[in-house]
Amino acid sequence: MGKNLFQKVWDAHTVGTLADGRTQLFIGTHLIHEVTSPQAFGMLRDLGLKVKFPQRTFATVDHIVPTVDQDAPQDPLAAEMMQALRKNADDFGVTYFDLASGKQGIVHVVGPEQGITQPGTTIACGDSHTATHGAFGAIAFGIGTTQVRDVLASQTLALEALKVRRIEVNGNLRPGVYAKDVILHIIRLLGAKGGIGYAYEYAGDVFDRMSMEERMTVCNMSIEGGARCGYVNPDAKTVAYLKGRPYVDMSDFDATATRWLSFASDADAKFDDIVRINAADIEPTVTWGISPDHGISISESIPDPAKAASAQDKASIDEALAYMKLPAGTPIKGVKIDVAFIGSCTNGRISDFREVAKYIQGHRVAAGVKAIAVPGSQIVAIQCEQEGIPEIFRAAGFEWRGAGCSMCLAMNPDKLVGDQLCASSSNRNFKGRQGSPTGRTVLMSPVMVAAAAINGSIADAREVFDLQQAAVA
Amino acid sequence: MPLDPVTQVSGRAVFIPGADIDTDRIIPARFMKCVTFDGLGEFAFYDVRFNSETGEKTDHPLNDPRFEGASILLAGVNFGCGSSREHAPQSLKKYGFNGVVAESFAEIFFGNSTTLAMPCVIATAADIAALRDAVENDPATIITIDVDGLRVRSSSGLDFPVTMPDSARDALVSGRWDPIQELLDNDSAIESKARELHYV
């Protein structure tokens, strides 16, 4: 019986078994940022410990950086966190992609673009969207701050192995259906807690055809489906993406590529569960509630609690609709928006901005809508500039900002105000997620955000733009 | 340095209704602008405890004087989902909670809580409803999470089995809930694994 990728990577990184039965797993790559690392460095100092492998530890600043006037945060708490990361990186000898480096950005955008993210490796970060790196065939997952300390001090973690659920999506996506719709659809089907205890393997010809960026969008939201990590098996596209990137050893690249590909799940690999989805069933998908599994297609209506399957479902719908201030049983299409946000570790990559730029020329953001576009990294921003993308966004009425997490979680000045409703390319529609305790989030693909921005209300991008070419070629 | 075993925790309890209570709800992101975990307790569930416009207290269970001082939290499915922020269990501990009984937990939250010696045990919806009714009827009811025996009991006479992964139970009852020393002790195995891996 063959092995799946998760088992291969897990076995290759197992240091031993701990007294409580957990595995001591070697973490080959540790990514850190300013929000979840300062306490971990504090614990290290208290214990008199060093960073075990500083050369395998990479830092950047993303959550709290302003996207306007980035070098001078007005917020003294934000400035203190940035100073702490600077000092910790210096004191412990950790590579730091800071604002002056030209390589700063959201940690899950920076890792892949530097070639730090590689197949067959283990990657941990004090951030639940670390599964993004699974797009490369890495086992990558989020950890808490005490675990950040564990990795800093020992380069290992105490963990239990996960089961593996293979999610196969086969067939052709319809025009106007994007990677974001695929993952929102999967989460809708399997639920926000469906992945607890599992790693998700995304397989089938839809993922085979996706670009690395699209695969990252899918893997990124594994945690929204309850799965701590998700991955796509490495293939020729993975190798081509990584070739020549700064942290890829090019001295014997063929051997490296062969080793990378050897981690892919074997044809006769065993899985704990298999789910099959028909690509043609996936529509442009948006959320209506306060959990990422509150998804519907753009042509559907907001659920009616009177038609709920159970008392528990009814209570859940009632709570969500009361918060969202949306009428039950009416179409989601046409719901007025106040803010449009394109960016985040889910959809802040070059391909996202290129795709939107293709369609917004000649259009204009509706009056009264604040639309912001935030590149995921400084390198993405530079690529966009080279291609004239910021001008296209500005001409359409978007504000073009500096790199960071921005309004995905609103730890910087980019926040919703009051109960503003935001069409957002980010990953979470939790209560208060975008910085206002009563702010409302509707998740969707970047092109759908652009359509909503232009219409002033939630819209079907296929009707607003000419989307006859298949999104995933 | 041996840690204190956590074989059981007990105290008065409060039920927080709702499925999929995420860590943004437990500790809103703006309170994470800090370089220590000190002082997070007062911000636990802040945005659902206080009206954002008036600043007044809401009808959230944590504002109910009957449940003041509760140290056991009762919840529904997928408690602690979303962000990996350890600030969430840190804020609950600092608020005064010593244990959580829920229908299910998000994994990262569960692991973070175990490492902080705050046991999270899984019970059926019916058993949690019985606990909720017991504390609603008499907020002085004492709930005990027996980590060693994997049962939850109440002073009102409830007694039922709960579950948690063997490794977490073992880590808590044997005083190994913080694994750092054991991880460090295996340094030679770590070094040899590093040499084995091509990319390290």
Nearest residue on chain B to A116, alpha-carbon basis: B199
**The amino acid at A29:** T
Helix (H, G, I), strand (E, B) or coil at B79: strand
| A254 plus A194 within the same structural domain | yes
Q: For residue range B122-137, list pLDDT tens digits in order.
A: 999 999 999 999 999 9
Whether A103 is in a domain gets the answer: yes
Which residue ranges in chain A fall short of pLDDT 70? 73, 468-473
Whether A281 is in a domain gets the answer: no
* Cβ pair A266, A2 in contact under 8 A: yes
| A155 plus A222 within the same structural domain | yes
Whether A469 is in a domain gets the answer: no
Q: What pLDDT does A473 receive?
A: 38
Put simply, whether A121 touches B (Cβ < 8 Å) is yes
Whether A473 is in a domain gets the answer: no
| A135 plus A32 within the same structural domain | yes
Put simply, whether B183 touches A (Cβ < 8 Å) is yes
pLDDT above 90 as % of chain B: 99
Q: What pLDDT does A71 receive?
A: 72
Nearest residue on chain A to B169, alpha-carbon basis: A20
Put simply, whether B33 touches A (Cβ < 8 Å) is yes
Whether A472 is in a domain gets the answer: no
Whether A279 is in a domain gets the answer: no
Tokens of A136: 């490369």
Q: What pLDDT does B1 receive?
A: 58
Asked if the Cβ–Cβ distance from B170 to A20 is below 8 Å, we say yes
Asked if the Cβ–Cβ distance from A24 to B24 is below 8 Å, we say no
Task: Please name the residues between 307 and 326 in chain A that touch chain B, using a CB distance below 8 Å.
Answer: 312, 315-316, 319
Q: What is the CATH number of the domain that holds A253?
A: 3.30.499.10
| A218 plus A356 within the same structural domain | no
Put simply, whether B195 touches A (Cβ < 8 Å) is no
ipTM summary value: 0.96
**Three-class secondary structure assignment of chain B:** CCCCCCCEEEEEEEECCCCCCEHHHHCCHHHHCCCCCCCCHHHCCHHHHECCCCCCECCCHHHCHHHCCCCEEECCCCECECCCCCHHHHHHHHHCCCEEEECCECHHHHHHHHHCCCCEEECCHHHHHHHHHHHHHCCCCEEEEECCCCEEEECCCCEEECECCHHHHHHHHCCCCCCHHHHHHCHHHHHHHHHHCCCC
Chain B contact set for A293 (CB, 8 A):
20
The CB-side HSE value for B95 (13 A sphere, CA atoms) comes to: 26
Asked if the Cβ–Cβ distance from B33 to A118 is below 8 Å, we say no
A251, A273, A295 - which closes a domain: A273
Put simply, whether A8 touches B (Cβ < 8 Å) is no
| A190 plus A309 within the same structural domain | no
| A237 plus A295 within the same structural domain | no
What gap in Å lies between CA A37 and CA A85, rounded to an integer? 8
Q: DSSP letters along A378-394, please?
A: HHHHHHHHHTTHHHHHH
| A266 plus A321 within the same structural domain | no
Asked if the Cβ–Cβ distance from A430 to B22 is below 8 Å, we say yes
Task: Please name the residues between 81 and 120 in chain A that touch chain B, using a CB distance below 8 Å.
Answer: 81, 84, 118
Whether A471 is in a domain gets the answer: no
Q: What pLDDT does A72 receive?
A: 72
Tokens of A118: 């590689």
Nearest residue on chain B to A147, alpha-carbon basis: B112
A472: alpha, beta or left? (left if phi > 0; alpha if psi -120 to 50):
beta
Whether A410 is in a domain gets the answer: yes
Phi, psi of A125 (to 5 degrees): -160, 145
Write out the residue range of the structural domain in which residue A34 sits.
5-273
Q: Which residues lie across from A31 on neighbouring strands? A: A58, A125
| A247 plus A313 within the same structural domain | no
Asked if the Cβ–Cβ distance from A19 to B174 is below 8 Å, we say yes
Chain B contact set for A147 (CB, 8 A):
111-112, 115
Residue B177 scores a pLDDT above 50: yes
Q: What pLDDT does A471 receive?
A: 44
CA distance A148 to chain B (A): 10
| A10 plus A151 within the same structural domain | yes
Put simply, whether A328 touches B (Cβ < 8 Å) is no
Q: What pLDDT does A69 receive?
A: 85
Domain positions in chain B are: 8-196
Q: What pLDDT does A470 receive?
A: 43
Number of structural domains in chain A: 2
| A77 plus A157 within the same structural domain | yes
Among the partner residues A26, A39, A432, nearest to B193 by beta-carbon distance: A26
Task: Please name the residues between 439 and 458 in chain A that touch chain B, using a CB distance below 8 Å.
Answer: none
Q: Does the structural domain B8-196 have CATH classification 3.20.19.10?
A: yes
Among the partner residues A39, A156, A224, nearest to B37 by beta-carbon distance: A39
Asked if the Cβ–Cβ distance from A437 to B52 is below 8 Å, we say yes
Q: What pLDDT does A466 receive?
A: 81
A233, A249, A273 - which closes a domain: A273
A245, A273, A301 - which closes a domain: A273
What gap in Å lies between CA A192 and CA B23, rounded to an integer? 14
Instruction: Tell if the pTM clears 0.95, that is, is over it.
Output: yes
**The amino acid at B95:** Y
Q: What pLDDT does A472 receive?
A: 44
Asked if the Cβ–Cβ distance from B47 to A228 is below 8 Å, we say no
Nearest residue on chain B to A259, alpha-carbon basis: B198
